[in-house]
Structure formats: structure tokens, C-alpha cells
Amino acid sequence: MTTLSELPDEQLLRLDHQICFSLHAAARAFNGVYRLALRDLDLTYPQYLAMLVLWEDGDQPVKQIGERLRLDSGTLSPLLKRLEMAGLVRRERSAEDERSVTVRLTEAGTALRGRALEVPRRISRATGLDVADITELRALLERVTTALDAAVADGATLTGA
Amino acid sequence: MTTLSELPDEQLLRLDHQICFSLHAAARAFNGVYRLALRDLDLTYPQYLAMLVLWEDGDQPVKQIGERLRLDSGTLSPLLKRLEMAGLVRRERSAEDERSVTVRLTEAGTALRGRALEVPRRISRATGLDVADITELRALLERVTTALDAAVADGATLTGA
DNA sequence: CACAACTGAATTGCGCACAACTGAATGGTG
DNA sequence: CACCATTCAGTTGTGCGCAATTCAGTTGTG
């Protein structure tokens, strides 16, 4: 297989720019699209992701939401607090383990799911992709993510050590 | 072609989750990898992107960097100020048009390019992708981004109006 | 049982992203 | 020429993402 490492120096910074940048740009474009599509629901994109997890798997501790979304408490704690302010969830210290906080959907939070069903329809229209494209894109992205996570965990590949 | 809109309600929120989420996750994974790879250079990932533009196209106004990176002054102004603090660039009001600020590489900024050449090598090793994969991924991402931008510009597709 | 190691959530601090706004400079139109 | 709209940077405010720290609660070990 041909790897980037075999290309000459001068092309590297250009090519590199285009790969990482296109992903960066795509992520922000998605964010912009969701911002619009979620305006009706008064949710931000990450808040929507948290609600998806709750709708799918039901009430659960902060820890578990974090594992699912790959987010730590530094991000989730304030985010969930905002969802609580909005009346969509409640947060309660677990009785069995006092360290854990269980996040529960309120009636309003559960009810919001009905309106949220419109969102993926709008998004899918906006992407202009068919199912085959999406499957392919997702497969590539997941492969990249896995490889990148492994590289970060390893460390040596990246730090130049 | 088969579009997502034809799928039943119940699958929508799941599938949707996976697409948008996998992109979100990949973008953050990339960010984490760059964070490590750029530690040596004392640059954040967006700062690195700005430097890439300057290395590639030379001194230029803030406006032009913004167009290239799709970032507005609200993001760029403080970012460039930090690069200036770090001694990598200077910012000067243009003589012809006093509204415009030209960003110029300092000697240190120009010199940094040499060390930056290592970065894409490390990243490409970390992604585990070959040139064909990358080309494909990039093509898909650019198609999505274009479609998404068009949808945001249009607006009607997304707001449900 | 006591004490150290660990775990889960929260907080702090920094940087990015974006909307909304300010303010100065420029350009066009009547 | 005067006025108004536009343009470019910058600022403010909000929310996310992550590192680092804190703190209470839990678990494992001697």
C-alpha cells in the first residue's frame, strides 16, 4: 500500500492541510446544519446527542452517557445542568453509589422525542447523500477514529519519540 | 436512489445518531491527535491551520485567511493575537485600506515551517489510511460539506418552513 | 479495622466557534 | 458634496471540548 509518508516533503503540508481540513470543515458544516434544524427544539447539537442517548437507552448515570458520547464530566456536567434548567431531565444522586448521578428524562424530555423525529429527515435531505454513500462514509470515519484513538493511546507514533 | 427519508421513524433517530455522531467523533479524534503532534510546536490545531495558509500563500489580510479556513473575525482575531504573542506573526493595518489588517510571518514564523514538516508524517502514520482511502474520504467529505453549506444557505430545507 | 488507591462528578481555566454587535473606513448614489 | 449602505476587524456573550484539579464516596489491601 502507498502511504503518505512516501511523498516528498513539499507536497506534505499541502496534502495534509486538505485531509484534516476537509474533516474539520465538514464537522463544522454539520454543526451549522444541526444548529438550524434544532432551533425549533431549543437544543444545541451536543445536547441533542445527549438526548438521543437517553431516548435510546433510558435513564442512566452521567458516566454511561460520557462513555457513549466520548465526553468527560467537564463537558457533560454543565451541559446536563442546562438540560435540567430547560426542564428536559432531572439529575439525582444514586442511592446505591453516592458518587454516581443518574440522569432521568422528565415528561417534557420524553415528549420532545416526537418533535425530534423531524430532525433526521431534514438533515438527510440536506446532506444529499444516499444510503450507500452514508454507509461508506461512516465506515471510513469509524476506521479513522479507531486508528487515531489507538495512536493517541500509544503516543510514541505522534510525539516523535 | 434510496434516501434516508424513506426509512421508518423508529430507525431514523438511531441511524441519524450514527452518521452525525461518527463525524463528530472523528473530528474530535483528529483534534486529539493533532494536539499531541503539535505539542512540540506549541500550536493548537486551528493555529496550525492558520500557519499552513500563511506558509502556502504568504502574507495576507485577515479576511483572506478567514475565507480560506471558513472562519470569521470572532474566531480569528483572538487566535491571530495569540500567534502574535508567540512571535510567529505580526499584524499591521494596511496602508491602502485602513479597515484591513495584514498578517505577516516573522522570521520565527517562517522558520517554524521546517519543524512542521514532521507533523503530517506523524499524522498519516496515525490514521492508518493509504492514499486511495484518503482520496475517497476527502471526496465524500467535500461533497457533504458543499451540500450542507447549500442547505444552510437555502434554509427552507432545514427550518421545516 | 485502617489506610491507600481508585472512581465519579464537579469545577476551573483556556481556546475554539459562532451569533450579535460596535466602530472605523470605504464606496456609491442622489 | 452629503448621506447611506457596505466592508473589515474587533469585542462580547454563550456553549462546547479538554486538561488538570478537587472532593466525596467506594474499594482493595494489609
Domains of chain B: which residue ranges?
A: 15-122
The predicted-structure confidence for B126-156, as pLDDT tens digits, reads as follows: 887 788 888 888 888 888 888 888 888 776 6
In whole angstroms, give the CA distance from residue A31 to residue B148: 10
Nearest by CB to A127, which of B34, B49, B148?
Answer: B148
Domain B15-122 has CATH 1.10.10.10: yes
Residue A118 has pLDDT above 80, yes or no: yes
Mean pLDDT, residues A26-55 taken together: 94
Q: What is the pLDDT of residues B106-125, one digit of tens each?
A: 999 999 999 999 898 888 88
Burial of A157 (0-12, 13-18, 19+ CB in 10 A): buried
Do the chains contact at A36 and B120, CB–CB below 8 Å?
no
The spacing between the Cα labelled CA in A141 and the C1' in D6, in angstroms, equals 42
Task: Take residue A67 and report the three cell numbers written for it.
Answer: 462513555
- What is the rounded (10 degree) CA torsion for B156, A32, A142, B17? -60
Given an 8 Å threshold on Cβ–Cβ distance, is A52 in contact with B127?
no
The residue type of A93 is R
**Paired sense of beta strands A101-105 and B60-61, if any:** unpaired
Closest to A20 in 3D by CA, of B74, B109, B48:
B48
Helix (H) or strand (E) holding B29: helix B9-37
Query: Running DSSP on this structure, what letter comes out for residue A1?
Result: -
CB proximity A91–strand C (7 Å threshold): yes
Q: Which of A87-91, B4-8, B84-88 has the lowest mean pLDDT?
A: B4-8
* pTM (predicted TM-score): 0.90
Q: Which nucleotide is nearest to A71 (CA to C1')?
A: D17
Of B14, B15, B30, the CB nearest to A20: B30
